[in-house]
Every structure is written in C-alpha cells, then in structure tokens.
Structure 1
Amino acid sequence: MHVLDLLRSADTSSGGQALNLILVDLRRNDHEGGTIRGSINLPAQSLYPTIPTLYSMFRAAGIRTVIWYCGSSHGRGSRAARWFADYITEREDVEIESAILAGGIKAWVAAGGEHLDYMHEYDATKWDQQV
C-alpha cells in the first residue's frame, strides 16, 4: 500500500489520525516548502542517539509503521530507516516496521494532485527551484 493510500485510509477510518503510522521528516536546513501532513520533524543530524527513546515512544503509542523521508530518501531517509530497522531487529520486535518514502518529499511534491492536498504549509515557490 502506498503512503497516500494509508493517509486516505486514516482520514476515513479514524477521524484524520493515523493511529498506527508515523511519518518522520529528517530534513533540517532544507525543510522549506512544506511537509507531509502529520509528519514530525526530527533532523537526521541528531537522530541516531535518540533511536532507543523514539522506539519506546512509538511502541507506547501503538505505532506499527515508521516511514522515514528526506529530500530524496537516498541518504538520510534510507540511513535512518536502516538504523531503526536494526534496533527493531535487535529487540526481535515483529510488530513494528521501519520503511522509507520512495523518492522522498521531492517525489511526493512532483506527483502533484492529491499528494499536495496532504501537505502542511505547502509553498509552490520553494519547490519550483527544487523539483
């Protein structure tokens, strides 16, 4: 299932809150132009030491899927997803998964249409230069 489908499903089934899904935007200085609605921003530069705490918080909240992304999800996104997946594996936890948003926020914006409806603080002028 695609992330957009998951967000749509959350809108219709839980009053707009994806109770078992969280999106993590890893951008720091390049965090302009908007983010996917419902994402939390945890810059990758300070992420690694916080993985145990994040894992505990996500588990306590009943999160089943953590979706990581950055600009393209080739660097920070894939690295964070691997770190978190390794942590999950070390705990032999089969109830939570670590995933990557393919193509990152740039691919999300480039897809246009309904994808843009699921953005918070979308600013097209910031993306004209990036996409």
Structure 2
Amino acid sequence: MSAPIVPVYMDPEELAVLVQDPAKVPKKDYLVIDVRTTDYVGGHIPGGINLPASQFYGFLEYINANFATVPLIVVHCALSQVRGPKSARILTEYFQTRARTTTGTAPALPQVKILRGGITDWVAKYKDVPGMIEDFDAELWESELMY
C-alpha cells in the first residue's frame, strides 16, 4: 500500500510573483484552479479557471487533455481548508495513476499545490493591487456573506 498523498501548500506571495510576471503565461506556465461554487462571484485570480469541487471528478479528463503539460497547478477555494486540499489530492492521485498506467516514457507530472489561505487571503493581500483580482466586487467582500 502506498503512503497517502500529503497536500503541498503555496503562499500567496509565491503565486503573486507568477501572476505579476509578464513572462509567465497563465494556463501554460502555471494554472490556477478555483474550486468554489456559488461563492466564486465577487472576484478571482487572473487567468484562473473555475471547476467546482462538487463536480471535480468530472473535470479530471478535461484537465488532463488541456493542461497536463502545465508544470504547476495551484488549486484553491475560499479558505483552502477543505475543498481546495481535497481537489488537489484528487488531481495529484489522478496524475500519478495515469503516469503508472502509461506505457513508454511518461511526461513529467505537473506539480500540484494548494494556495494557502485561499481566495480570502488573496483578496485581503491584493485587493488594492491593480491586476491581481479579476471581476472584483468590493461590496460583496465587505459584506458578512464573504467571510
């Protein structure tokens, strides 16, 4: 029996360096997967995609077909305490299983990380930094519904 996969976290500052680097291309050099559902409204990380955790298993083939060559995949939810880590574990296990069942030389596996603090910490740190949040709605974040 293999050891359980332990999630690896990435600090928001590390992801911010990638997002702000004009030489880095989202969906090519890195991919941000936001697994929130109805709480997705109000803002998200630029260049990210929304694949809700409640349907995440159904997105695995899509991710593999479109983003398997992306070297870094960062997964998050609101706080990255439940949905984000679970989705990151599922994705990591999926890639590892595919690599074991692939004949010949398998390509390098994407590194999957979880954004520490989720979008909540991201917004707290970068809400006033231009270009760091797409579709930002300050009123939603100021309401009690977002916390």
1:36-79 deviations in Å (ceiling 9; x for gaps)? 111111111111132133122212xx311111111001111000
Describe how 1:42-57 pairs up with structure 2 within 5 A.
Answer: 42-57=51-66
Larger relative CO (CA 8 A, sep 6+): 1 or 2? 2
Counterpart of 1:24?
Answer: 33
Q: 1:36 aligns to what SS in structure 2?
A: coil
Given residue 60 of structure 2, which amino acid in structure 1 is its aligned partner? I
Partners of 1:85 and 1:55 in 2: how far apart?
11
Partners of 1:29 and 1:53 in 2: how far apart?
21
Q: How many residue pairs are counted as aligned between the two chains?
A: 124
Given residue 136 of structure 2, which amino acid in structure 1 is its aligned partner? Y
Counterpart of 1:8?
Answer: 20
Task: Report the identity percentage.
Answer: 27
Partners of 1:55 and 1:97 in 2: how far apart?
13
Counterpart of 1:33?
Answer: 42
Partners of 1:117 and 1:124 in 2: how far apart?
14
Listed as ranges, the gaps of 5+ residues in structure 1 are none
Given residue 34 of structure 1, which amino acid in structure 2 is its aligned partner? G
Counterpart of 1:78?
Answer: 85
Q: 2:39 aligns to what SS in structure 1?
A: coil
- The alignment's C-alpha RMSD in Å is 1.8
Partners of 1:81 and 1:49 in 2: how far apart?
14
Listed as ranges, the gaps of 5+ residues in structure 2 are 1-12, 100-106
**Stretches (4+) displaced over 6 A:** none
Structure showing greater radius of gyration is 2
Q: 1:23 aligns to what SS in structure 2?
A: strand
Could you tell me whether the CA contact under 8 Å between 2:36 and 2:52 is conserved in 1? Answer: yes
State TM-score, norm by structure 2. 0.76
Could you tell me whether the CA contact under 8 Å between 2:34 and 2:76 is conserved in 1? Answer: yes
